[in-house]
Each structure stands twice: as structure tokens, then as C-alpha cells.
Amino acid sequence: MKEKSLRFPVKETIKKRTSVRTYKPVSLPGELERKLKNYAEEIKGPFSPQVRFAFIKEDSFLEESGGRISTYGVIRGAKNYMGALVEKGLDKNLEQVGYVLEELILYAAGLDLGTCWLGGTFKIKVLEKDVGMEKGEILPIVTPLGYPAKGKRLIERVMKAAAGSKKRKPWHKLFFNGSLNSPISEKEAGSYLNPLEMVRLAPSASNRQPWRLVQEGTSWHFFMDPSKIVNQTVGYPIQRVDMGIAMCHFELTALEEGLRGEWVTQKGKPALEGVEKLHYIASWLAG
């Protein structure tokens, strides 16, 4: 089993993180960038695909390409960006991106840096050159990185309102015991109360929250309830990234709470009532 050491207070940081779309127009100090790069090297995701991070500076990008990094006006002021690259076509490559980038994003939030997952609202073509994208790699996600500006622009308020960003689904829509017909209550969750609550607070594409967790004995099975609209609009199954984010919140919180366990991927979908339309991702085996 992999041992991790925590470098930030997990629950506190998860509660504090929020998507930041307006930044102070200042570059990240070199020391902070180095800290992030060092932390990035240490992150181990639950799956095998290797994720590569690219740190992009808006100024050098401007010099080389003659244009700014385009986020269709969604992001303002950011001078630094970070992209996550992974080999195309590998099993669980997007889940792995979700896990490791979220861990890095939480570490950044612990340093009081703002970020915003961008899966759809950035122009990928121009960035491909700048991140030294290799053949066979994809760049599914980038995030700006910087100091949040005070106040929000209208576009940001509109985006947050459209996605209902502050809202999260209630427990009974996300967490179950043995069957999709049997929601699990906060009381019944026992020592897994906080790992589940931190999954619930996770960010997700269009705030669709596709995570469905079903407890079976000492296992927690992670399923995805896919939304055709979200995945088609973005052009790739972005909700698999959301699943990795949820796994990251779950495992880091379990670690903080002193709960032990490991990730396993069952060969077939666990035969549970009500999961027919869900995609099985992986299971946490407690103990």
C-alpha cells in the first residue's frame, strides 16, 4: 500500500478552495513555482498512467506566439498557467489527471493561490506548442495559477450562477449502501463521514457532480453517472476527470482521519442493484 504524507490540512483546504476566474495581474514568484514543481514530482495517483505538468508563463507565451492565452474571456489577469498532459488512449488516464492535478490544486490553495479547472474554455491549439506536447499526448486540462483579485467580474458571477457553483447535491443523491435504492445517511457513514462529505464538496465540470459511491461491506465502489451533454460539449469524457478528483478528496481525507485502505479495480462492474446505467471506475478497500 502506498503511504502518503500530508503537506496541508485536507478538510480545511477542500472547504476553502473555490474556482477563481479573476486574478491580480502579477507573476508567480519563482520560489512558489519551484514549490509547486517539487510537490508535483511527489504526487502519486491511484492508476498507472504518468501525468506530466507543464508550467506556462503568459509573458513568454505572448513573445513566442504573438497572442495571449485564450480562455474565451473567462479568466482575467492570470500570468501563470499549469497544464496536465497524459498519454492518449491509456486506461484511466483522465481519472489519473483528475486525481493528481486536484492534489496539486489543493496544495496551491494551501499556499493561498487561486486556480480554476478549465476543460472547455481554453484554446488548446495554440497551447500545444508551448507545453512541448509530444506525439500521443493530450492536454485535457489547464488551470490559471495566481493571486485572486478582490471582487468578481460580471462574467464570473454569471458563470458561477449558471453552474450553481456553490450548490452541491444532497447526500441521498450521491452515497448509498449496497444498492442505489438505499441511500446512506450521515449517521450510517460512521468513520467515513468526512471522506464522503469531502467528495460531495469536490469541484466538477459544469458542477454536475457525477460521483455515485456505494458501500458494500468494507468496500466503497466509485461509479460515474455520465451526462451526455457535458461530455459531448467538451469533446472528451471530461467527467472521468471529475471521478479522479473525487478519489483524491476521499483518499486524502481518509488519510487525515487515520483511515487505512487501498484502491482496487474489480474486473467487472460490481453486481449491485441500480447501477446498470452507471460506469464503474474503482473501489476503495478499507482496512
Other beta carbons less than 10 A from residue 172's beta carbon = 11
For residues 22 and 151, the answer to whether their CB atoms sit within 8 Å is yes
Stretch that binds ligand FMN, among 28-36, 124-132, 211-219, 235-243 (CB under 6 A): 235-243
By CB under 6 A, is residue 272 in contact with ligand FMN? Answer: no
Out of 56, 113, 205, 272, which residue is the one contacting ligand FMN (CB under 6 A)?
205
By CB under 6 A, is residue 131 in contact with ligand FMN? Answer: no
By CB under 6 A, is residue 120 in contact with ligand FMN? Answer: yes
- The rounded distance, in Å, linking the Cα atoms of 266 and 189 is 23
Min separation Cβ 149 and ligand FMN, Å: 15
By CB under 6 A, is residue 238 in contact with ligand FMN? Answer: yes
Stretch that binds ligand FMN, among 116-124, 176-184, 247-255, 271-279 (CB under 6 A): 116-124
For residues 192 and 177, the answer to whether their CB atoms sit within 8 Å is no
Q: Which is nearer to ligand FMN, 238 or 272 (CB)?
A: 238
- The rounded distance, in Å, linking the Cα atoms of 73 and 54 is 22
Backbone torsions φ then ψ of 132, nearest 5 degrees:
60, 45
Residues between 183 and 202 with contacts to ligand FMN, criterion CB under 6 A: none
Q: Which is nearer to ligand FMN, 54 or 285 (CB)?
A: 54
DSSP conformation letters of 156-193: HHHHHHHHTTT----HHHHEEESEEEEEPPTTTTGGGH
Stretch that binds ligand FMN, among 39-47, 80-88, 112-120, 272-280 (CB under 6 A): 112-120
For residues 102 and 249, the answer to whether their CB atoms sit within 8 Å is yes
Chain residues binding ligand FMN by CB under 6 A are 18-19, 74, 116-121, 159, 163, 165, 203-207, 238, 241-242, 245
